[in-house]
Homo-oligomer: A and B are copies of this chain.
Amino acid sequence: MGANIFGTVFQIITFGESHGPAMGVVVEGCPAGVSFSWDLIREKMDRRRPGRFPWMSSRKEPDIPQLLSGVFEGRTLGTPLALLIKNKDFRPEDYHLIKKNPRPGHADDVWKEKFDHVDPRGGGRASGRETAGRVLGGAVAQMFLKELYGQLDIRAFPIQVGHFIRKDFTAFSERQWFGEQSKEVEEFLVQKKARGLSYGGTIRVEVDKPPVGLGQPVFHKLKSDLASAFMSIGACYEVSLGDQYFSSSVEGDKVKSIHRNINLEEGSRLHGKQDHSVYGGIRGGISTGEKIIFHLKFKPPASVLDVAKQGRHDPCIVPRAAVVAESMAWLVIADHVLWSRQDRLS
């Protein structure tokens, strides 16, 4: 069944509790012959790292993974890759209160209801720290895809935090995580953090130059598997294919024009016209080869004031969630690239 297994052909299984000995991932189904890149691993883990920005949680684990299997002389063997991250910044004493008072917005209470026996330290398995394994797995998916499709690229980045909205997506760098407004947003978050406040936001995911024909036509449509992947990220509560975000949900004046478009009022029938703003690079569940666009909305992290006072409160998770979303997208694309090898007789 695999509650902790993601993917069909290219699969990962993640394990580890936030305050247990280690977190990790096993990558299963990666073909033999892929060059393993430590640079990519380091880059991803750095982007995911807490404490990267001044307003982030001060929990600053280095998170340098060990590679335990699956690679020999720098290339994958076609066997499972196990990657391990030891938990070093382990302070059980901070969390003794949590047992008595389930944190708001967290799953402590329902988790208890479900399993009866739970690890209350830092959320245990429900901690966002679980996503470290996903990021490692996504990096392996990326190594695989980059060798086959040099031009394929995936980027996920915040485009809304609180009332800030980013509209220019052309330039992209990690330091400029919110484009030209990065500094402004950071100052805002530092201020709000002091008051124990939290902010949700929106992430835009772009898959550039994907192969045509990814996705299976009925239940494993590419949009279906991507939606499942993104919704498996803790705070994500909405996924949307295409460019609707800028029409229906943010700026009132654009809503109408898009409605005109997708509603085909004014006789502009869809003859010969494929509206990318709606289908977002996926038609009939299958990639068309054009850019795939998704928008994901995240709720603000719920937090406890006592924790916030100690500076370990994370007022906004979208930058880190973006790395996870990007990783999930790499995993889904890798999965379907392999799956599509089965489409035809030869």
User: What residues make up the interface of A, taking CB atoms closer than 8 Å to B?
Assistant: 1-6, 8-9, 11, 13-17, 20-24, 26, 28-29, 31-34, 66-70, 72-73, 75-82, 84, 104-111, 113-119, 121, 124-126, 130, 144, 147-148, 162-163, 195-200, 212-213, 216-221, 223-232, 234, 237-242, 244, 248-249, 252, 259, 262-265, 267, 269-275, 278-280, 283-288, 297, 299-300, 302-305, 338-346
Query: Whose C-beta in chain B lies nearest to the C-beta of A6?
Result: B219
Which chain B residues border A29 with CB–CB below 8 Å?
1-3, 342
How far apart sit A242 and B84, CA to CA, in the bound complex (Å)?
36
Partner of A237, one of B33, B111, B121, B242: B242
Bound CA span A20–B81, Å: 11
Q: Quickly give the copy total for this chain.
A: 4
Question: What residues of chain B lie closer than 8 Å to A252, measured between beta carbons?
Answer: 252
Choice from B6, B75, B116 contacting A32 with Cβ under 8 Å: B116
Q: Which 4 A-B pairs have the closest CB atoms?
A: A107-B284, A3-B216, A228-B228, A114-B213
Contact B79 A110 (CB under 8 A): no
B240 and A20 within 8 A (CB):
no
CA gap between A302 and B272 in the complex, in Å: 10
Interface centre among A84, A119, A218, A234 (most CB of B within 10 A): A218
CB < 8 Å: which of B1, B9, B110, B267 contacts A11? B1
Residue in B31, B70, B107, B265 whose beta carbon sits within 8 Å of that of A286 in the complex: B107
Select A274's contact among B78, B104, B227, beta carbons within 8 Å: B104
> Looking at A198, A219, A272, which has the most chain B CB atoms within 10 Å of its CB?
A219
Q: In the assembled complex, which residues on chain B have CB atoms less than 8 Å from the CB atom of A148? A: 345-346
Q: Are A217 and B111 in contact (CB under 8 A)?
A: yes
**Which chain B positions have C-beta within 8 A of A287?**
110
Which residues in B have their C-beta under 8 angstroms from that of A72? 17, 20, 117-119, 121, 124
**Residue A21 contacts which of B66, B225, B248 (CB distance < 8 angstroms)?**
B66
In the complex, residue of chain B having the shortest beta-carbon distance to the beta carbon of A23: B69
Residues of B within 8 A of A342 (CB): 1, 9, 29, 31, 338, 341
Q: In the bound complex, how far is the Cα of B234 from the Cα of A297, in angstroms?
A: 22
Q: Are B237 and A232 in contact (CB under 8 A)?
A: no
CB–CB A270/B302 < 8 A: yes
**Contact status B278-A299, CB under 8 Å:** yes
